[in-house]
Amino acid sequence: MASFNLFLLPGDGIGPEIMVEVKSILSWFQARGVATFETEAGLVGGSAYDAHGKAISEEDMKLAQAADAVLFGAVGGPKWDSVPYDVRPEAGLLRLRKDLGLFANLRPAICYPALADASSLKREVVEGLDILIVRELTGGVYFGEPKEIVTLENGEKRAVDTQLYTTHEIERIARVAFDLARTRGKKVASAEKRNVMKSGVLWNQVVTKIGKEEYSDVALEHVLADNCAMQLVRWPKQYDVIVCDNLFGDILSDVAAMLTGSLGMLPSASLGAPDAATGKRKSLYEPVHGSAPDIAGKGIANPIAMIGSFAMALRYSLGLGEAADMLDKAIANVLASGVRTKDIAAAGQNAVGTKDMGAAIVKELEALA
């Protein structure tokens, strides 16, 4: 039986509450003989700061580096609003992204038929939606230098951010998108603004070249990023995989997320470069939402975003695609049967707590097995 080493970083707020439900799911898979999961847990964010004054310790960074996958809950909360900038809770996540080289951020937007009425768009526009946004995460305008505010001679100020991409950075994110498209609908839409940005011209050229030379079996379409935002709201089902830079990906993935209803439903994956010797990628899986301090400790958080993130880990880091499919199916069936946490319950509908939702998913796994 294959054995994997998972590093759990529950973090703050509802993070620990939803991580507990992932633990019961991985225990279930282990009991079924799917794989052995060696788990180790660490501290990140405000809870790490409280324990040792840093958003993540060097020891925990080492464990993250060594793991087959990192499962991350959420960090932050009002308790830590005034801690020094470089040890604030978010610094733990940024450090992980940087040191693990997590350049590819995968954000699926899936609209379960049972929840289609929770979307702000019409049912027929979103029902059955299943798209994947692949966002470049470590380059572009959030990181490019110069990045500064300078005072001019006339006393005015000038702010500069630099949108910067190299061929290598575009090639590797394009390959991630094309590889994923091969396992799905064999379609990639590449979003940029080549009409007004040099980085968009290069993006377009490099993605075109990779597509032509290495992925002629995948259909490639280019779309201007602003048009892509419109199309996502008009008819999102036209897309399969969308690949884009850091800034456009930030915006487009949030647009796509809201097509599907609640924040409590959205998983994500962040992947690094494949290791030259083993082909394994460093990876971190986390819900899109934050630590939800307003509901922390109440036992009502929706664990599906976290559990769905674990399903992505099974699929993309552990090579357990069948187990991932099964877990996704269990989630869909539980939703179809009407079980709802508060965030996805319709007005007047009974809501269950975090534990009940986790237990319902385990029970459904049992039924599917």
Binding-site ranges for ligand NAI (CB under 6 A):
14, 74-77, 93, 263-264, 286, 289-295, 301-302, 305, 343
Q: Is 343 an active-site residue?
A: no
Q: Using the minimum distance from each CB to Mg ion, give the nearer residue, 26 or 102.
A: 102
Q: Using the minimum distance from each CB to ligand NAI, give the nearer residue, 115 or 218.
A: 115
Q: Using the minimum distance from each CB to ligand NAI, give the nearer residue, 204 or 262.
A: 262
> Which one of ligand NAI, Mg ion, none is in contact with 6 (Cβ closer than 5 to 8 A by kind)?
none
For residue 315, which of 303, 307, 323 has the smallest C-alpha distance?
323
* Minimum distance, C-beta of residue 225 to ligand NAI, in the bound complex (Å): 23
Strand-strand pairing, 104-110 and 267-274:
antiparallel
In the complex, the residues that contact Mg ion under the rule CB under 5 A are: 250, 254
> Which one of ligand NAI, Mg ion, none is in contact with 292 (Cβ closer than 5 to 8 A by kind)?
ligand NAI
Catalytic residue among 130, 161, 179, 226: 226
> Which one of ligand NAI, Mg ion, none is in contact with 305 (Cβ closer than 5 to 8 A by kind)?
ligand NAI
Numbered residues of the known binding site for substrate: 97, 107, 135, 226
Catalytic residue among 130, 142, 237, 355: 142
Tell me the backbone φ, ψ of residue 277, rounded to 5 degrees. Answer: -85, -45
Q: Is 50 an active-site residue?
A: no
* Minimum distance, C-beta of residue 89 to ligand NAI, in the bound complex (Å): 7
For residue 327, which of 68, 110, 150, 73 has the smallest C-alpha distance?
110
For residue 129, which of 252, 240, 268 has the smallest C-alpha distance?
240
Catalytic residue among 130, 161, 179, 254: 254
What is the chain's alpha carbon radius of gyration, rounded to the nearest angstrom?
21
Cis peptide before 146 (omega within 30 of 0): yes
Q: Is 254 an active-site residue?
A: yes
Rounded Cα distance between 44 and 286, Å, is 13
Rounded Cα distance between 203 and 200, Å, is 5
> Which one of ligand NAI, Mg ion, none is in contact with 250 (Cβ closer than 5 to 8 A by kind)?
Mg ion
* Minimum distance, C-beta of residue 209 to ligand NAI, in the bound complex (Å): 34
Catalytic residue among 23, 54, 193, 342: 193
CA angle 251, 331, 365 (to 5 degrees): 150
Q: Both tokens of residue 326? A: 């099964």
Q: Is 68 an active-site residue?
A: no
Q: Using the minimum distance from each CB to ligand NAI, give the nearer residue, 9 or 131.
A: 9
Residue 221 and residue 207 in contact, taking contact as beta carbons nearer than 8 Å: no
Rounded Cα distance between 173 and 102, Å, is 11
Residue 63 and residue 42 in contact, taking contact as beta carbons nearer than 8 Å: yes
Residue numbers annotated as active site? 142, 193, 226, 250, 254
